[in-house]
Amino acid sequence: MQNVFELTHPLAAHHLSILRDVSTTPAQFRTQIHLLAMLLAVRATDDLGLEPSQVQTPLTQMTGNRLAQRIGIVPILRAGLGLVEPVLQLIPDAAVWHLGMYRDEATAQPVEYYCKLPAGNAVDVGLVLDPMLATGGSIRAAVLALKRWGVQDIRVLSVLAAKQGVEQFHQDFPEVKVFVAGIDPELNAHKFIVPGLGDAGDRMFNSQRD
């Protein structure tokens, strides 16, 4: 699929396997999410534009580079929060805007409960962060919100996707680039990714139900 990019780096495979393991603790889970988010962010930003910038080194003045585009980081609450800090470490001047979505368990459809995107002055590049792309409903809603804002270049960073979900998303938004660490073959009857890694938000924040 054009504009769908799956990480092939050995470190991505290594950290994703630890993330999947049911014995991985919430603290370890957050660490693996952090590491995978950083790998995704490096891959997702490798074509950003640069402009010349004058730099005074300890020895002389030189012409360096700085990012030419305004970057917006848009995590989908709550699980998307786990991907924000590693991306900010790489792009510390990026703006962060939050979108709140939850999945209706009866319909598996996203329900928006929070959106504070400003009116006008859209960023040049919007990075949508959500660790899971299962049906793609929440990410689809986030992309539509960014399009209404006026963002022209939208990119999705997800740790894990389902083949069915990413194919449907690509069909709906072929121009949006999607970066994932892994693509699993199917969704179960409850629309969870299989083999998957469980509920990313619950595992990240240690809020699993007994």
Which residues are the active-site residues? Answer: 103, 107, 199, 202
Alpha helices per DSSP H over the chain: 10-20, 26-44, 84-90, 137-149, 163-172, 200-205
The C-alpha atoms of residue 25 and residue 120 are separated, in whole angstroms, by 42
Q: Which residue has the tokens 């069909």?
A: 171
Q: For residue 176, give both structure tokens.
A: 């949006």
Residue 195 phi, psi (nearest 5): -70, -25
**Alpha carbons within 13 A on the beta-carbon side of 204:** 19
